Structure 1
Amino acid sequence: MRQRSGRLVRLAALVTAVATVGSGCTVAVSGQPKAARVVARDTKSTSTINGSDGGQIDQLAGTALADIDRFWTDEFPASFNKPWTSLSGGIFSVDTADASAKPPPCTEKASDVEGNAFYCPSADAVAYDRAALLPVLQSKFGDAAVVIVLAHEMGHAAQKRMGITPEAERANPGKYPTILTEAMADCFAGSFTKWVSDGKSKSLDIGQDALDSALGALITFRDPVGTSPNDQAAHGNAFDRVSAFQDGFQQGTKFCGAMTVQNRVFTQQAFTSVDDRDRGGNLPFDQMIDQLTPNLNGYYQGVVTSLGKTWVPPKSTEVTSEPDCAGDQGPVAFCAADKSVEIDVKGDLPKLHEEIGDYATGLLMASRYGLAALAQAGKPTEGSGAGRNALCMAGAYTATVLKPQGEFGLSPGDMDEAVQLLLAGNFPTRDAKGKSGLEPGFARVEVFRTGVFDGDKACGIR
C-alpha cells in the first residue's frame, strides 16, 4: 500500500516528548500499542513483589524482572568476570493512587514514586508506579515498553555490581556523570532486548516488529529540550538514548560496560542564545527553508567536488500539494528527470514542521538532496540501497551542523526531531521513484546514526 504523507503527519503526532527528573523518570506519554507479547506470564512472580496487588501489571513486571535476572546471571560473569547477585532489597510495586500506600526505599512517601520507575542503590531495590506509569506505557506502547523500562533500571543494578556508584562518582568527579550512567543503562536494556529478540527468553517475545515500540517508549524519557549534558540529572536526548540502546542491541553488555566520558559522544546541548531558547529551538517554516537550502548546497557541493565531479545545485521548486514528479516520496521529492527538488510548502511539510519541529523539514530535505548528490556522483538513485544511502548522507550532513556554524546550525531538540521523524515513517529512505522505503523505524535510525558517526564514506557515494 502506498503511504501518503498525511499518514506520516498522523503518526508523527503520536510520538511525543517528555522529561526525566530526579532519580527516576516522570513522563506523560502518547502513542499506540505495538506488537510485543508475553509468551508465558508467571502468575507466581507477584509473590516476590512488595506491595503487589497480584494484578496483570505486576504479573508483567514480575515476569520481566525474573527474565532480566536470568539474563544477567549468564551475561554478567561472561562480560565482567564476576558472579551476578540478585536484588537483595527486593522489588516494590507502588499504588500511587493510594494515599495510605507504604513508601519504597529511597522515598519518604508513596507519592514520590508517581510517574516513576527507579533503582535505589542504597537498598539494592527496584520500585515502580503501577498506577500511573506502567499501565500507561503498556496502553500506549505495548508490553515491550514496560519490559524496556525495567531492563533499564536493572541496568543500574548491574552498574552497582561493577562498582559504578554515586560514591565512586563523588570520589572521582566527572568519571561517572549521570548522562553516562543513563546511557549505559539504556545500552544494557538494548542488550537484554536482543537476548529476548533472539528467542532466549521462555517468557517474553520482542520481535523486530516491536523494536519501534521499544524506541517510542524510550524517547518519552528524554531530557527537556535545552538541558545541558553537564546537568546533574541529565539522562540524554532522544538521539543519545536511542543510540545507546541500539549499541547495546548490536554490541552486547561488555561494550556497554566499557563506556566512558572519553569514548562516548553525546549530541545533547544547551541553548546558546536567548532567541533560540524563546523559539524552542525552532525556526519559522519559511525561514528554515531559506537558510537550509544554501547550507545543503554548500555541503553537497563539497562532497561531490571531492569526488572529481561538478555539483549543480538542484532547482528548488515550491509546490502547494504533495510532489508528484517521481512517485510518492512524501512532502519533499527529488525529481530525477530534471534533477530538481520539489517542496510542499502548503500541505504536509508545514504540518510536520509544526507537529515535530523544524528538523523534520531539515531531515526530509537533506535526504532528497542526498539523492541529488548520488545522481551527480553517478551512483544509483533507485532501489533500497539508494534510499538507505540518501538517509545516510542526511546523517553525514547533520553531523556537520550539530554545532552552529555562521548563521545556520542545529538547535537543542533537532536530533530528537530527527528520531521522531524516522520512527514516524519511511519517506527519508524512499528512492527516486518513491519506492523501497526501509522498515522498521529501528533500522532507519540505525542508518541515520551511521551517517552521523561515520560520515559520507559510509554512505555509498565514494
Structure 2
Amino acid sequence: MPRRRGTRLLAALVAVLATGVLTGCGVVVLEPPRSSGPGPETVPGGNSPVVGATAEEVDVLASDALADLEVFWAGELPEVFGTAFQPLQGGYFSVDPGDLDPRQYPDGVGCGADPREVEDNAFYCLDGQRPNSDSITYDRAFLAELASGYGRFLPALVMAHEFGHAVQGRVGAPSASIAIETQADCLAGAWTAWVAAGNAERSEMEEADLDDLLRGYFLLRDPVGTGTAQQSAHGSYFDRVSAFQEGFDAGAVACRDEFGPERVFTQSQFTRDDDFRRQGNLPYDQLVSLVDSALPAFWERVFAEDFGGRFDAPPLEPFAGRAPGCAPADRDLVYCADGNVVGFDEGLTREAYRLGDFAVATAISIPYALGARDQLGLDPADPDAIRSAVCLTGWFSAEVNRGAVPGTEVSPGDIDESVLFLLTYGVEEQVLGAAQLSGFQLVDVFRGGFVEGAAACDVAA
C-alpha cells in the first residue's frame, strides 16, 4: 500500500484509497527511494515542475518553497546526515479538488492516487510499486484558505513539513508515528530558520510570520485525547510547536539527534470519564484554588532542593480592572515586592479560561515566578525578568506534566493551553508587553523552561 505522510489540516478526514486504507497519516516511510533513471525535467532555479500548478499565489508560494527546499537539503543532507541529496523522483502535484481536470494527472497524483483524495490535505508518498512514488501532493484551494487566515507563509510551511518526510525517506525515520511527524516539524523549522536568515532565493518571511505560523499549528494538532501510540498520531499543539522551534533554534542536527524513544511528548489520553466530560477543565473557582496551592508546593520544594533556602509563598489577590497601588494601574499581571503579593486581573483570567483551565494557571504562574526571583535576590524589575518568569513557568508546567507537584493532575491539552495563552494574550502590552517579546519568542522561552528546567531561566540553580 502507499507509504504516505500527511499534514493534518483542520479536523478534515482524509479520503480512502481504492485499497481501503486511510492515507493522509499513513504508514511510516522506511525504504529509501530507488532511482529508476533520470528524474523529472527541471526548470530554472533547480526545482521540478509542479504538475497542475496555476499562476495563483498559493502555487507560486508552494513552488518557490519547493525550489528553496531542494537547495537547502542539497547542502544539509551531506553535512548533517552524511548522504547526498536525491531529488524527489515522483515530483510535485497541485490539485484543486473542486475544479479538477483529470487529464492533467494521467497517472494520478502521489503513488497513483485519485487527485480528489488530497482534498483538505497534503501528503508525501513513497511506494516503489506505484506510479509517482517519492512525491508531494497538495490541495491548493485549502492551502489558500489557510494562508488567508494564518499568513502567506503557511503554504511554504506545509511544503517544508512534507519535504521533511521525503528527507526521512532518504535517511530513515523514528518508529512511532508521533515521533515521525514531530521530527518532520523539526526539519521544517530548520529550513524556516534558513529562510528567515535571508538565505533563500525565492521564499521570504518576516518576524510577524512566525507568530502566524504558530497559530496555524493549532489547526494541525491531533484532537485532544489522542494517544501517542495511535498509528496516525501527529502530536499535541505543544509537541508540534516545540519540535518546529527546536529545528528553528538548533538546526537539522537537533532533528537528527533529539527524536529517539526517550523524547517526552505531552499528548495523552483521557483516563477518567469526568475529565473527558469536562474536556480536562476544572470549574474556574476550583482551578484558581488549585493554583493557589500548587504554586507554593512547587516553589517550596525547589527552593529547598535546588536553591538551598526557604520560600515565603505570596498570597494571590485577584482584582477587577485596576491593579493594586504597588503596581502600574494598567497591568493585568503584577508582582508587588512591597508586601510580597501576586495580583491578577480577573477580566484577563476569566477570558483566558475560555482557552482552557491551564491558560489561567500559566497566567498566574508568571507573576508568581517574579516573586520567586525576588526571593532569590534577583530584581523583579530587571528588563529580562519577565522572560525569566515565562521560562520558570515552563519549568513549573513540566513538573505538573510529570506528576511532581502535589495536588495536581495534568489533563490532555493542558500544555497546549499555555501556548495559546502566550500567543493570544502574552503579546498584549498590559499583560507581558513590557518584555518586548513576540509570541514566537514567548513560546520559545516557555519551551526552554519546560525542556531544560531552571538552567534555561537565568536563575542560579
Same fold (TM over 0.5): yes
CA distance in 1 between counterparts of 2:259 and 2:57 reads: 38
1:25 aligns with 2:13: no
- State the shift of 1:56 in Å: 2.2
Among 140, 143, 164, the residue aligned to 2:152: 143
Structure 1 counterpart of 2:245, one-letter code? Q
SS of 1:205's equivalent in the other structure is coil
Which residue does the alignment assign to 1:323?
323
Cα deviation, 1:113-137, whole Å, max 9, x if unaligned, reads 1110110122111011111x21112
CA distance in 2 between counterparts of 1:429 and 1:291 reads: 28
Which residue does the alignment assign to 2:36?
none
CA distance in 1 between counterparts of 2:45 and 2:56 reads: 11
CA distance in 2 between counterparts of 1:150 and 1:192 reads: 11
Which residue does the alignment assign to 1:116?
121
Structure 2 counterpart of 1:376, one-letter code? Q
Cα deviation, 1:310-336, whole Å, max 9, x if unaligned, reads 322212223233535412675332223
CA distance in 1 between counterparts of 2:427 and 2:151 reads: 25
Cα deviation, 1:271-323, whole Å, max 9, x if unaligned, reads 12111111111111111001111111111122334434332221222323353
SS of 1:384's equivalent in the other structure is coil
Cα deviation, 1:395-441, whole Å, max 9, x if unaligned, reads 1111111044654122110111111111224369989xx76324111
Matched residue count: 415
CA distance in 2 between counterparts of 1:237 and 1:269 reads: 8
- Kindly tell me: are residues 328 and 420 of structure 1, through their superposed partners in 2, closer, same or farther at Cα, counting changes over 3 Å? farther
**1:333-412 equivalences in 2 (<5 Å):** 333-345=334-346, 347-354=347-354, 356-404=355-403, 407-412=407-412
- State the shift of 1:229 in Å: 0.8
CA distance in 2 between counterparts of 1:312 and 1:406 reads: 18
Structure 1 counterpart of 2:70, one-letter code? D
1:224 aligns with 2:207: no
CA distance in 1 between counterparts of 2:428 and 2:394 reads: 11
Which residue does the alignment assign to 1:289?
288
Structure 2 counterpart of 1:105, one-letter code? G
1:160 aligns with 2:173: no
SS of 2:94's equivalent in the other structure is strand
CA distance in 1 between counterparts of 2:81 and 2:165 reads: 15
Which residue does the alignment assign to 1:34?
none
Spell out structure 1 runs of 4+ moving beyond 6 A: 42-47, 427-431
CA distance in 1 between counterparts of 2:134 and 2:83 reads: 17
- Kindly tell me: are residues 318 and 107 of structure 1, through their superposed partners in 2, closer, same or farther at Cα, counting changes over 3 Å? farther
**1:90-239 equivalences in 2 (<5 Å):** 90-98=91-99, 101=102, 103-106=108-111, 108-122=113-127, 123-131=133-141, 133-164=142-173, 176-239=175-238
8 Å contact kept, 1:45–1:63: no
Q: Which runs of 5+ in 2 are unaligned?
A: 13-42, 128-132
- State the shift of 1:247 in Å: 1.3
Structure 2 counterpart of 1:333, one-letter code? V
- Kindly tell me: are residues 379 and 100 of structure 1, through their superposed partners in 2, closer, same or farther at Cα, counting changes over 3 Å? same
Which residue does the alignment assign to 2:426?
426
Which residue does the alignment assign to 1:298?
297
Q: Which runs of 5+ in 1 are unaligned?
A: 1-20, 30-41, 165-174
- Kindly tell me: are residues 205 and 22 of structure 1, through their superposed partners in 2, closer, same or farther at Cα, counting changes over 3 Å? closer
SS of 1:118's equivalent in the other structure is strand
Which residue does the alignment assign to 1:39?
none
CA distance in 1 between counterparts of 2:371 and 2:124 reads: 49
- Kindly tell me: are residues 428 and 393 of structure 1, through their superposed partners in 2, closer, same or farther at Cα, counting changes over 3 Å? farther
SS of 1:416's equivalent in the other structure is helix
Which residue does the alignment assign to 1:461?
459
- State the shift of 1:234 in Å: 0.6
8 Å contact kept, 1:281–1:411: yes
- State the shift of 1:49 in Å: 1.6
Identity of paired residues, percent?
A: 35
1:452 aligns with 2:450: yes
CA distance in 2 between counterparts of 1:330 and 1:270 reads: 37
Which residue does the alignment assign to 2:35?
none
CA distance in 2 between counterparts of 1:422 and 1:339 reads: 25
8 Å contact kept, 2:7–2:220: no
Cα deviation, 1:59-94, whole Å, max 9, x if unaligned, reads 221111111111111111121221111111111111
Structure 1 counterpart of 2:235, one-letter code? G
Cα deviation, 1:217-256, whole Å, max 9, x if unaligned, reads 2232011111111111111111111111111112222321
Which residue does the alignment assign to 2:25?
none
SS of 1:302's equivalent in the other structure is helix
Structure 1 counterpart of 2:311, one-letter code? W
8 Å contact kept, 1:387–1:430: no
Structure 2 counterpart of 1:130, one-letter code? R
- State the shift of 1:45 in Å: 9.6
Q: Which moved more, 1:328-337 or 1:251-260?
A: 328-337
- Kindly tell me: are residues 46 and 192 of structure 1, through their superposed partners in 2, closer, same or farther at Cα, counting changes over 3 Å? closer
8 Å contact kept, 2:5–2:162: no
Q: Which moved more, 1:319-328 or 1:272-281?
A: 319-328
Which residue does the alignment assign to 1:64?
65
- Kindly tell me: are residues 107 and 425 of structure 1, through their superposed partners in 2, closer, same or farther at Cα, counting changes over 3 Å? farther
CA distance in 2 between counterparts of 1:427 and 1:96 reads: 38
8 Å contact kept, 1:333–1:341: yes
Structure 1 counterpart of 2:151, one-letter code? G
CA distance in 2 between counterparts of 1:415 and 1:129 reads: 31
Q: Given the two structures, how large is their TM-score scaled by the length of structure 1?
A: 0.83
- Kindly tell me: are residues 186 and 291 of structure 1, through their superposed partners in 2, closer, same or farther at Cα, counting changes over 3 Å? same
Structure 1 counterpart of 2:171, one-letter code? M
Structure 1 counterpart of 2:8, one-letter code? C
Cα deviation, 1:384-403, whole Å, max 9, x if unaligned, reads 22111111111111111104
Cα deviation, 1:129-180, whole Å, max 9, x if unaligned, reads 111x21112111222111111101001001101133xxxxxxxxxx511111
Q: Given the two structures, how large is their TM-score scaled by the length of structure 2?
A: 0.83
- State the shift of 1:212 in Å: 1.4
- State the shift of 1:197 in Å: 1.2
Structure 1 counterpart of 2:139, one-letter code? D
- Kindly tell me: are residues 143 and 321 of structure 1, through their superposed partners in 2, closer, same or farther at Cα, counting changes over 3 Å? same
